[in-house]
Structure 1
């Protein structure tokens, strides 16, 4: 009888343990937290010109005319505000003076006309500013987004092995999203600043004591706003890794490609639990900052209210003591309210602007870092059709691993050969293929194509000569044609495409699709279709064969194919082998019969090297694995 595990306590008998909660993950980015934690209100004020200048330069590169229109609109709007206040002061004198009401209104009419004209001008300039903003915002956002995508496509493949790289990428994504907010904040900051200068100038003319009191009234709000922004950014920093892994899990949970696995393995309940728990954990960190935000708000509001009360008391005292006239006092009320609103907006948008530029700083740091991680190996040109690839004492290790993936490996591959690479999982097969195609560069030793060291060769010249089918290949949401040519057609017609389709045995399947080669391979999109796993694998092989590469690497190219498709692919590989170096990684040892040589790898080293018949009698790992495969 089978043995069953015993329950540790009677109360737990027959009960399952609860599902495990998500791991706590900390962001280990490049020390960006100090950027805000060490910033005070005065330092913020000192940084504003630099921030506005940075935004202005970015916008200028996109559309100089729109920037000029926006600046013109802001200046005219500020002048209009000053004219409104000055004209209001003139209108108040007759309105609050003596005489009949019709006479007072008639005397104030010219000033009131000026007020109306200036207000209308301000509205027109607002519309102009909106036009300029709408021209700039989408293109700024697109520019940041494209720069991020370009950076991700440009880095060395080894960068993706660094866990910090993923966190910094997530932070950069947040920065790219906020670019349009940055322009909005900059525009309103400049508008409010110009209005503040205009209102402050009028207020100073009315009485010099009013301006410092007004500044004192809004200063606590500015300090509080900076403190609030610090807290918000700290929360963003603390939840960065959680949001990153949550986004990854969301894709896994919702994609149609894994829907069978999720349902067939009864994973739905656990995945929803995991997602809800991670979301609640992130929410808890955000909510945990709420009391601090409340204290900051209450304190800054209380102090600001006391100072504002002092400003109004000062105005009343100046009026009662006769130091200013009632007309000037009435104008001062309007000016104070205008200046107070403008000054509050200046502080608010300056703080928001600074906060947004911190996120933008994450984006900028990542883009700059990605540029430094782009392949910089030298200018040597890889041979168009190498006769020999020589791997000499090569070693390569992945971060966090105690043992090298390949260690002291030496191998020679010759043109016209089909070389099969076999071994157990984790033996270094895929790492070997990445090294010999220049996707990785060796930490020790050299990989040379006809004497050209790939570590010193322009990688684009290497990859132009390679065709790679990986274990995990993309199901691109493109047409059948583009899935094969990958946007790099070599002829004006489809003859070469159909030839490749025939080589992988896909003609009948493609002809049955609604639009043939033009069929969109994305079932989730309207008008799209999908393929089976084996058909997708044939398409992946077709991509490599279409290019007619000098170096062809196929990593488990037929794992999802039926016997007929698998036989066809390997037969085609043999047919086209003469003009190239072909490397096939496979666990199906029967397929290695077509190979001229078989390389057996164990723990990053080559332990056997020979033909199928030789290795089948050698008594080594190959013979053991082959015998096991026959017992299935």
Structure 2
């Protein structure tokens, strides 16, 4: 169900937009407001001057030019021309300053969205509703706050113009002013209906937009390009993208056709009401109740009023849509509960980390991914997790790393329940199987392991040496300052194994007491894998290592092995103990080992 905005919501969103614009560029806001107000005051002055000039011209029109002060008339015309020229200059200056203000507000608001997204708990990214909220917040962050501020300023200008025109009407026939104002009501009603319909459509298409963006990424990104071409998926993905876009275009076309007739009807009705006001004015002139100069000025003001009201209705329509999206933006930013981390506290190793009856369920899932997990990790140990795909190994690792909060059960560190997930993350280094390949410099790729500290090249080089990638990085054109991405000028790329070593180097640089390695050697050749695991105790001496791997040759030397199946720990012990019990671990180990045993005798 699409949410609706109350008047209070709209006022709150407008105030929020003004605050964000003020925070981004207060001088720009003051400049734009000042220029617009000056323009409005000039227009009001021109209208009053016009009334006096009409009174001077009337004797000439009746053939009685005697006594007419032509110099006053010429001076008045000159002032009107000067006011018009100054008004044009002010509008140009205002337009240029508005562009600068818009860009600065854009940067400020998009920064808020990115900051919020970066400090939102990982679990939120598993929820489709969060991605819809993020999509709408991103949409709202692009020029919507600045647009609202510009419209509020323009509405203020319209209000001042209306006041100036109202002054003329009051001196002529005050009762015509409400009739003139009523002529705008059909326009405002049609604009409101269209605004609600447009927002409802965009709200319902948030997931459609995300699917389109994903298809666009598949068709344009370098990493996906090779497989897209190998499978000849280009035309198929483009067709799906076009179909998703057609859904939005069809909805928009239907909406425009529906509300176009409503807006045409509203304009016809508004025009008929204005014609009625004009007829009333001329009736008053013919009856001698209103002078012709006053009537002429009043009708000129009525034309301006009609024009301004039409503009105002369109502004309110656009501003209303922006306020809808700004409410989404405000809700998204306000929902972030984790502040930017301050200076990092010293990393303190733990003696034990235990999971007691740990349970976890993903948002929207029908059943838990983990059920009553009990596991213990001690300082200096290498602990292994094994099990079939989907058994919950990586999910458990994310809980132990503080990336997810458990749905049930408790994490206990050194006999104290864990309540600060950020502190737990601070003491953990993780190498995921699907690690990120940062298309920045090699230096950054390693230094990102501990961004709280000032980068130290000697530590970066030591981490690269520990991971076995230092020699290759030093041979790059710019050494550690080489950009790792062929999409960028003078950039290069690494092989899959080299990227994996770089991710491991990042973990070394983090220098955390708890290290999680999720399939850390999947892209390494057998010799590199053997070299790494032969030195793993030496490289991570004194640290707790949690190792996830499908290669049993890598985990057999672990101090303790936990076997997961369907989210439960079904066995644990050393390799020797588990082989002796001939349970699930022994079956998996022997099945994998059989693949390396040849049953065919070697050729003579």
Report the TM-score when normalising by structure 2: 0.90
**1:162·1:399 contact (CA, 8 Å) conserved in 2?**
yes
Q: Report the alpha carbon displacement of residue 52 of structure 1 after superposing the two structures with TM.
A: 4.5
> Match for residue 605 of structure 1?
568
**1:193·1:343 contact (CA, 8 Å) conserved in 2?**
no
> Match for residue 391 of structure 1?
355
Q: Report the alpha carbon displacement of residue 624 of structure 1 after superposing the two structures with TM.
A: 1.6
**Aligned-partner Cα distance in 2 for 1:71–1:278:** 41
SS at match of 1:399: coil
Is 1:447 matched up with 2:411?
yes
Is 1:67 matched up with 2:33?
no
Q: Report the alpha carbon displacement of residue 132 of structure 1 after superposing the two structures with TM.
A: 4.8
Is 1:35 matched up with 2:10?
no
Counting only pairs closer than 5 Å after superposition, residues 447-466 of structure 1 correspond to structure 2 as: 447-454=411-418, 456-457=419-420, 459-466=421-428
**2:20·2:108 contact (CA, 8 Å) conserved in 1?**
no
**2:353·2:413 contact (CA, 8 Å) conserved in 1?**
yes
Is 1:299 matched up with 2:265?
yes
For residues 529-554 of structure 1, the C-alpha deviation after alignment (integer angstroms, 9 at most, x for no partner) is: 22222211111111111111100001
**1:389·1:447 contact (CA, 8 Å) conserved in 2?**
yes
> Match for residue 319 of structure 2?
353
> Match for residue 139 of structure 1?
104
Q: Report the alpha carbon displacement of residue 128 of structure 1 after superposing the two structures with TM.
A: 5.3
**Aligned-partner Cα distance in 2 for 1:364–1:259:** 37
Alignment partner for residue 479 of structure 1, among 437, 441, 445?
441
> Match for residue 416 of structure 1?
380
**Aligned-partner Cα distance in 2 for 1:240–1:48:** 21
**Aligned-partner Cα distance in 1 for 2:81–2:232:** 70
**Aligned-partner Cα distance in 1 for 2:531–2:166:** 83
**Aligned-partner Cα distance in 2 for 1:199–1:491:** 64
Distance 1:506 1:170, change over 3 A: same
Counting only pairs closer than 5 Å after superposition, residues 347-386 of structure 1 correspond to structure 2 as: 347-371=313-337, 374=338, 384-386=348-350
**Aligned-partner Cα distance in 1 for 2:204–2:67:** 66
Q: Which of structure 1's runs of 4+ aligned residues deviate more than 6 A?
A: none
> Match for residue 599 of structure 2?
none
Is 1:223 matched up with 2:189?
yes
Count of residue correspondences: 587
For residues 485-530 of structure 1, the C-alpha deviation after alignment (integer angstroms, 9 at most, x for no partner) is: 1172756641111111111121232123221111112222222222
**Aligned-partner Cα distance in 2 for 1:201–1:191:** 16
Is 1:252 matched up with 2:218?
yes
> Match for residue 119 of structure 2?
154
SS at match of 2:576: helix
Counting only pairs closer than 5 Å after superposition, residues 240-279 of structure 1 correspond to structure 2 as: 240-279=206-245
**1:91·1:109 contact (CA, 8 Å) conserved in 2?**
no
Counting only pairs closer than 5 Å after superposition, residues 317-332 of structure 1 correspond to structure 2 as: 317-332=283-298
Alignment partner for residue 41 of structure 2, among 74, 79, 104?
79
Alignment partner for residue 629 of structure 1, among 583, 587, 592?
592
**Aligned-partner Cα distance in 2 for 1:126–1:233:** 31
Alignment partner for residue 308 of structure 1, among 254, 274, 277?
274
Across the aligned residues of Structure 1 and Structure 2, the Cα RMSD in angstroms comes to 2.6
**1:570·1:594 contact (CA, 8 Å) conserved in 2?**
no
Q: Gapped runs of 5+ residues in structure 1? A: 1-30
For residues 281-316 of structure 1, the C-alpha deviation after alignment (integer angstroms, 9 at most, x for no partner) is: 222222222331122122212212211222332233
**Aligned-partner Cα distance in 2 for 1:329–1:50:** 42
Counting only pairs closer than 5 Å after superposition, residues 460-539 of structure 1 correspond to structure 2 as: 460-486=422-448, 488=451, 490=453, 493-539=456-502
Distance 1:101 1:551, change over 3 A: farther
Distance 1:527 1:194, change over 3 A: farther
**1:393·1:446 contact (CA, 8 Å) conserved in 2?**
yes
Bigger shift: residues 601-610 or 68-77? 68-77
Distance 1:35 1:443, change over 3 A: same
Alignment partner for residue 95 of structure 1, among 46, 57, 61?
57
SS at match of 1:63: helix
**Aligned-partner Cα distance in 1 for 2:583–2:537:** 26
Alignment partner for residue 288 of structure 1, among 223, 234, 254?
254
**1:505·1:568 contact (CA, 8 Å) conserved in 2?**
no
For residues 66-92 of structure 1, the C-alpha deviation after alignment (integer angstroms, 9 at most, x for no partner) is: 333333333322221111011111112
**2:197·2:255 contact (CA, 8 Å) conserved in 1?**
yes
**Aligned-partner Cα distance in 1 for 2:66–2:11:** 49
Q: Gapped runs of 5+ residues in structure 2? A: 596-604
**1:467·1:547 contact (CA, 8 Å) conserved in 2?**
yes
SS at match of 1:578: coil
SS at match of 1:460: helix
Alignment partner for residue 429 of structure 1, among 376, 393, 396?
393
Distance 1:403 1:82, change over 3 A: closer
> Match for residue 57 of structure 1?
19
For residues 28-83 of structure 1, the C-alpha deviation after alignment (integer angstroms, 9 at most, x for no partner) is: xxx5x2415xx6xxx6xx88765544433333333333333333333322221111
